[in-house]
Amino acid sequence: VPKHSNSLDVAKLAGVSQTTVSFVLNQRGDHSISEETRQRVLKAAHQLQYRSNRLSNGVFRGNTGLIGVVSPQITDDYYAHLLSSVSSHCASSGKTVIYSPVQDEDQPKRDPMLSLIEYRVEGIICVCAGVIGGDLSDWLDELAQKGIKCVVIDDRSYEGKVHCIVSDDVTGVHKVVQHLTSLGHRHIAHLGAGEGYSTAINRRAGFVAAMAELCVSESELLIAGNSFDEEEGREAARKIIGSPNRPTAIIAANDVHAAEVIKVMKSFGLRCPEDISVAGYGNTQVARALDMTSVDQQPGMIGHEAMESLLTQAHEQSSLLPTKVIDCRLVVRSTTGPCPK
């Protein structure tokens, strides 16, 4: 029968009490223990391959050492970087990550939250990406009442109720538009998602606002596609590139869409950036691979901030913390160039 050795086993082998074992292993100052006993305990623990049971530990004191992450599609570059950064921060802070995926969109984040609470996590980072309609509100109330800290990423709907950290999508797209106008472009299209997710909404809003500054009326705005779906992106690209009113620059809602735009351009015999400039969003591997202009959202920094917030947050204040907006950087590469005559 396989068995983990416990602190009593160690105590017996070392010829001391459980108390002493606990004090030696946790290096507490209050009890001073003779060097000799200390060594005996350490040796016994090593011999028995004793691994302290963090669960019991968590049951007794509040401290479970667990941080929960709720997030959709970890296969997406952005979410992957977020989780990666959170988990390495955890590793160096002595915390451990429980990852709870958001399964489909129709079945909202009920279950993921539930299991995190059942494991008595100390804090939760919720990257629900602002799926509109998802009702986080009840969960947030429950977390607050139970003293579980929480940070919500990329969704300001619950501001005032929970600490929010968001990527500055509006400014991100604004920077792209500025870059393009400085190259002489004025006939600029926005392609891809524009609703459903708060990020999609904000990127589109950023586009609309930036174009308004250029005195382009809303009716003149070139907008194509409305989802993050790859197929639809390609379809939208075909439509806009094939249209008589073809733009000189296209800003895609993300890098994958931008890649589709470039493919479609090729099939039309158009060159990038000579005929049309293309910019992506996210600065993912795809952007680097295509040497494509894109916006870096610095997901690593977002994850880092989220962890910092959890680790320093006092329960009472958390809801009062002002929303943290993380800057994004425009990365100019070879897919954007001067506007053709």
Binding residues (CB under 7 A) for DNA: these are 3-4, 6-8, 15-23, 25-26, 28, 31-34, 36-37, 50, 52-53, 56-57, 59-61
In angstroms, the first-to-last Cα distance of the chain is 80
The 10 Å Cβ neighbour count of residue 42 is 16
Binding of a second copy by 142 (CB under 8 A): yes
Stretch that binds a second copy, among 36-44, 142-150, 175-183, 209-217 (CB under 8 A): 142-150
Q: Which of 213, 168, 206 is nearest to 190 (CA)?
A: 206
Binding of a second copy by 56 (CB under 8 A): yes
CA distance 291 to 335: 7
Q: Which of 211, 263, 221 is nearest to 241 (CA)?
A: 263
Candidates 35, 106, 118, 231: give the one binding a second copy (CB under 8 A): 118
Output 65 or 101, the one with its CB closest to DNA.
65
CA distance 294 to 331: 5
Binding partner of residue 288 among a second copy, DNA, none, CB under 5 to 8 Å per kind? a second copy
Binding of a second copy by 8 (CB under 8 A): no
Binding of a second copy by 88 (CB under 8 A): yes
Output 59 or 132, the one with its CB closest to a second copy.
59
Output 69 or 222, the one with its CB closest to a second copy.
69
Output 5 or 157, the one with its CB closest to DNA.
5
**300 with 85: CB under 8 angstroms?**
yes
Residue type, 279: A
Stretch that binds a second copy, among 35-43, 99-107, 174-182, 183-191 (CB under 8 A): 99-107
**172 with 281: CB under 8 angstroms?**
yes
Tokens standing for 78?
A: 């952005």
CA distance 293 to 280: 6
Q: Which of 154, 238, 234, 161 is nearest to 200 (CA)?
A: 154
**241 with 300: CB under 8 angstroms?**
no
Candidates 27, 34, 75, 217: give the one binding a second copy (CB under 8 A): 75
Stretch that binds a second copy, among 35-43, 98-106, 213-221, 243-251 (CB under 8 A): 98-106
Binding of a second copy by 46 (CB under 8 A): no
β-bridge partners, 326:
167
Binding of a second copy by 51 (CB under 8 A): yes
Smallest distance, Å, CB 64 to DNA? Answer: 11
β-bridge partners, 225:
none
Output 4 or 329, the one with its CB closest to a second copy.
4
CA distance 253 to 330: 14
Binding of a second copy by 245 (CB under 8 A): no
Binding partner of residue 61 among a second copy, DNA, none, CB under 5 to 8 Å per kind? DNA
DSSP string across 40-74: HHHHHHHHTT----HHHHHHHSS---EEEEEES-T
Binding of a second copy by 110 (CB under 8 A): no
Stretch that binds a second copy, among 15-23, 50-58, 184-192, 242-250 (CB under 8 A): 50-58
Binding partner of residue 329 among a second copy, DNA, none, CB under 5 to 8 Å per kind? none
E strands within 194-334?
Answer: 222-224, 249-252, 277-279, 294-296, 324-326, 329-331
Stretch that binds a second copy, among 111-119, 153-161, 207-215, 244-252 (CB under 8 A): 111-119
Q: Which of 9, 6, 45 is nearest to 25 (CA)?
A: 45
Q: Do you know the residue count of the chain?
A: 341
Q: What does the binding site for a second copy look like in residue numbers (CB under 8 A)?
A: 2-4, 49, 51-56, 58-59, 64, 66, 73-75, 77, 80-81, 83-84, 87-88, 91, 96-101, 103, 111-112, 114-115, 117-120, 142, 144-147, 255-256, 259, 263, 284-286, 288-291, 315
